Every structure is written in structure tokens, then in C-alpha cells.
Amino acid sequence: MTALIRQFRDFFISLRLTVFLLGLSIILVFWATLAQTDLGVYGVQQKFFHSVFIMQKFPGTDFLFPVFPGGYFIGGLLFINLIIAQFSRLKLSWRKFGIWITHLGLIMLLIGELLSGLLQQDNDMVLDNGQTKNYAESMRQNEFVVTDVTDPKSDDVTSIPLDLVADLKTVQLPNIPFQIIPRTFYANAAIASRNQAPNAPVSAATQGVGTQTVLMPLAETVKDNERNEPAALIELVGSEGSLGTWLVSADPAMPVQKFDYKGKTWKIAMRATRRYLPFSLTLVKFSHDVYPGTDIPKNFSSLVRINEENSKSSREVLIYMNNPLRTHGLTFYQSGFANQDRTAILQVVRNPSWQLPYIACLLMTAGLLFQFSIHLFGFFSRRKPEVSLT
């Protein structure tokens, strides 16, 4: 081993590095806790823990620069520190077997957190009594869609990431006979009719409902129980020239906008990003029980029917608090309700690594129990028998 490699190894197995990183973790958690008031839980999670560095804007500019290590940076160094120390300091023997198992569980816990941050998807499915859906919708992500609705039996939907719209990028796709040119984008905005806000200026749209719609830009929200509703002014340009400028918004109150072009009927909209499922769910009945004589919730649950896509089989499952539905790699939680108890809100979570934290905790528990037992038995075996004086 060369001197350089030895110095590299000694640095990463240093206990000082471990203590220093744990100190940074304490500062990170404390800072994130204070920032939660302004950013919300999701914003704090993305900025502080699911990042390599915490980025801040230089005052008066949009230039971002790192100000503190993020969760991925600190966790990554702790992971390297643990791995190198494991193989450099601990010999593989039955007396150290418990420590090996405990460290293995800790390593698996770190890997599980990393995979959850990268792979986990959270969406919502809102169902009215008797309604059937085969998709869930994101609470924070939106998309711009162009739909060919010419065929009455099926729709041809093309989804365009909202990042392209926000960056005002021109989009030309082979299956769409016109260009999509974003002219203006608002990260959050409210829409209203001219009757609701007669003194507000009408939007710059020249086609569709936007010609009679008032657009009011709003500040982006970071509250966990609210969502941003972006809006944009988009010009459509065909081979003969401009087809007009259209106002699209993720506001659920925005009506459907249709037009005919090249012998086909098209629909454009901005909506919450949809995650389509290999099956559909039907809300059979939603129940909201309260304690007698009060308005205090006792239980709320959703009886749903799972309809498989490629078969005629179906089954009914009751979803309620602490009893989610797990199927097809997804977990459905009873999240809330609305519309005077006629609408159920289900949280749909996809997390391929959800079992890793449980396995990691079991390994750490088994390792600590094994190591403690070895020392306990060793202590009793070294005790001298008491000598009788009679």
C-alpha cells in the first residue's frame, strides 16, 4: 500500500470524520426544521435532504451557489466511512459477528433511504362514489397535453413535460401537425371570467376561452395542503401560419378547449401529471363514521373494486386508516375525503425499496442482541464460583 493510498484510507476511516459528519447532520436537521415554516415538508425534503448541496441565489440575481452540504453529500460520505472502516478495522470472526451484522443493517438503511428518495412516487386518486379510474394524479407536477379526439372509441394523448413550456421551448412532434410555441408561463395563477373580475385585464389569448378569461398571476405556494396551478399562453402554428394563441391552465375550473385542424379534432389542456395503472379502481362506497353525538371522526374508509386490465376478474377491498391496499407494486392509503362524504381521496405510493428499512432494523436488532449475548455469556463464564466457609 502506497503512502498516498494509506493517507486516503486513514482519512475515510477516521473517527474524526465520522464525528464531523454527524455534526453536519445535526446542523442540517436543525436548519431544515426552521426552514419548514417557509418551504413546507416537501420543499425542505427536496432542498436539504435530497440534494448534494444546499443552493442559494446570489442576492439580486438568479445565480445559484452552494452554501452547505446536503443530505446526499453527508450520507454518501458516512456510507463510505462506514464501508472502509468495516473492512479495515473489524476482523471477520464469530466474536465480531454481531457488529458485522449491525453494520450491515446500517448500510442497508442508508441504501434504502437513497433508493426511496430516487424511486418513490407519490400521487393521489380522487374518486366519487361509483366512479372508475385507471390513473393517479400528481399533487405537485403538471403536464401539457395535446389529444387527438377524432376517433370516438379512443383518444391519442401526447404529453409534453411542463419544463419545456416553462423554458418557452418550441415543440414540434411528428404525430402533431402544428408547432407548439409557449409565449408566456406562470408558475402559479388564478383564472376567472370577466363577470367575476370586470376590472381586471383580459388575457392575451386570441382563441378559445382565454379570450373571455382574466388571468391573475400568484406567488408559488409551498404549503403541503395546497398546490400550484400553472398557466401559460401558447401559440399553435400550422403549415398555413398561426392558429392563434391559447390560454391553458391547470385550474380544474378551466373548461375543455377543442378545435379542428387537418381533418381532425384536437383538444389541448394543462393538467396534473397522470400515472396510468395496469388496472382500474371503482369506488363502491365511502364511509365516514363519527362518535355518537359529536363531529369527531371515528373512522373513514373506502370500499373499492379492483378491475384487472386483461381479465374479467375483480375483487373488493376495504381501505381504511392503517390498513392500506398493496397491489401491483403500489400502496393505496386512505388520505382524505371531500364533497360532503361523496368523494374519497386515496394516496398512491410507489416505493420499490419500502421493505429495506424493515430488513435493516431487523438486522441491526439481531446483531446487537448477538453481540450483547456473547459478552453476557463471557461475563458469566469468567465468574469464579463462591467458596463455602463451612
Q: Do 260 and 300 belong together in one domain?
A: no
CA distances from 20 to 11, 25, 113, 295, 364 (A): 12, 9, 21, 51, 23
Cell triple for 336? 382524505
Domain boundaries, position 299: 122-132+277-350
Helix (H, G, I), strand (E, B) or coil at 45: helix
Q: Please tell me the distance from the alpha carbon of residue 192 to that of residue 214, in angstroms, as a whole number.
A: 5
Residue of higher predicted confidence among 86 and 107: 107
**Same-domain status, 208 and 255:** yes
Using one digit for the tens of pLDDT, what is the confidence trace for 275-319?
999 999 999 999 988 888 887 878 889 999 999 887 777 899 999
In a domain, 74, yes or no: yes
Q: Are 181 and 264 contained in the same domain?
A: yes
pLDDT at 27: 97
For residue 223, the model assigns a pLDDT of: 78
User: Burial level of 141, CB count in 10 A (0-12/13-18/19+)?
Assistant: middle
User: Does residue 359 fall inside a structural domain?
Assistant: no
Mean pLDDT of 35-57: 90
Query: Among candidates 339, 317, 343, 312, which has minimal Cα distance to 330?
Result: 317
pLDDT classification of 184: cutoffs 50, 70, 90: very high
As a whole number, mean pLDDT of residues 50-73 equals: 89
| Structure confidence at residue 30 as a pLDDT band (50, 70, 90) | very high
Could you tell me the three cell numbers for 367? 446483531
| pLDDT higher than threshold 60 for residue 229 | yes
Do 269 and 281 fall into the same domain? no
User: Residue 390 has what pLDDT?
Assistant: 56
Last residue within a domain, chosen from 228, 248, 275 = 275
Q: Do residues 174 and 116 both lie within one domain?
A: no
Partners of residue 286 on adjacent β-strands: 302
**pLDDT value for 389:** 57
Indicate whether 256 and 295 sit together in one domain. Answer: no
Q: What are the tens digits of pLDDT across the range 135-151?
A: 999 988 999 999 999 99
Query: What average pLDDT does this structure show over 187-214?
Result: 84
Distance CA 319, CA 192 (A): 37
The per-residue pLDDT for 388 is: 58
In a domain, 383, yes or no: no
> 68 and 19 share a domain?
yes
Q: Are 256 and 268 in contact (CB under 8 A)?
A: no
**320, 329 Cβ separation under 8 angstroms:** no
Q: Where are the beta strands (DSSP E) in 77-230?
A: 121-128, 132-148, 156-161, 179-186, 189-193, 213-217
Instruction: Identify whether residues 145 and 255 lie together within a single domain.
Output: yes
Q: For the chain, how many structural domains are there in total?
A: 3
Give residue 238's pLDDT: 93
162 and 265 both lie in a single domain: yes
- Confidence check: pLDDT of 387 > 60: no
Q: Measured on CA atoms in the order 218, 222, 225, 227, is the torsion positive or negative?
A: positive
- Grade residue 384 by pLDDT with cuts at 50, 70 and 90: low
Residue 381 lies in a domain: no
Q: Do 328 and 277 form a contact (C-beta atoms < 8 A)?
A: yes
pLDDT value at 177 more than 70: yes
Residue that wins the pLDDT comparison between 33 and 88: 33
Please check whether residue 107 is in contact with residue 79, taking contact to mean a CB–CB distance below 8 angstroms.
yes
